[in-house]
Amino acid sequence: MSKLRIAVQKSGRLNEDSMRILKDIGISIDNGKDQLKASARNFPVEVFYLRNGDIPQYLKDGVVDAAIIGENVLIEKGNGIRVAEKLGFSTCRVCIAVPKSVDYKGIQDLEGKRIATSYPNTVKSYLEKNNISANLHIINGSVEIAPNIGLADAICDIVSSGSTLFKNNLKEVEMILKSEAVLAVSPLLNEEKQAILDKIQFRIQSVLKGRQ
């Protein structure tokens, strides 16, 4: 019998809650995340611990069948990947922020500016929608440092508690989208695996109801 391959974030803000929901639906994982792959003891499931940003491509290619991933990452990289279920945790928003000292009047103030971000596609389409052209600097982490070191005039990144913005003397000026963890599904799922996924989804729905 084939197993459903589920990707979860290897480390980071989604990892703990992802493992908790798998546990809550009765899927117990044999080995810790030191290994990149683990089998469930009692369910035809294999868990793959992967880097967030790699997961959408793995879903597209059918290398994994499903994933617990932030909607924000799917929107950035996940063209056409289906969301089966919203999971209600790891809520955040993707925002544009500028130094506190800037007298920001509106999105037109971003015209011609340098924006540092790990979400280039998301920012690009937001700016295009608003008829703004800006220069994007793509960086993979610690984006909020960019204005302080003279690399950019603004940043676009996820905001959760707001603490990273605060610590870096930045203020949120545009909210692009809201995000939470979701169960995402590969477009290449076969019937047998779909049946396993259906069971998992049913259990997830019960757990989420219980949490309300």
Binding region for ligand PRP (CB under 6 A): 12-13, 141-144, 157-164
Q: How far is CA 116 from the centre of its chain?
A: 18
Nearer to ligand PRP, 24 or 172 (CB): 172
**Shortest distance in whole angstroms from residue 132 CB to ligand PRP:** 22
Nearer to ligand PRP, 90 or 186 (CB): 90
- What minimum distance in Å lies between the beta carbon of 162 and ligand PRP? 5
Residue nearest to ligand PRP (CB): 141
**178 and 91 Cβ atoms separated by less than 8 Å:** yes
Closest approach of ligand PRP to the CB of residue 184, in Å = 20
- Burial of 7 (C-beta count, 10 Å sphere; 0-12/13-18/19+): buried
Q: Whose Cβ is closer to ligand PRP: residue 37's or residue 51's?
A: 51
36 burial (CB, 10 Å; 0-12 / 13-18 / 19+) is exposed
Of 45 and 155, which CB lies nearer to ligand PRP in the complex structure? 155
Residue type at 103 in one-letter notation: D
The answer to whether residues 6 and 67 touch, using CB atoms and an 8 Å cutoff, is: yes
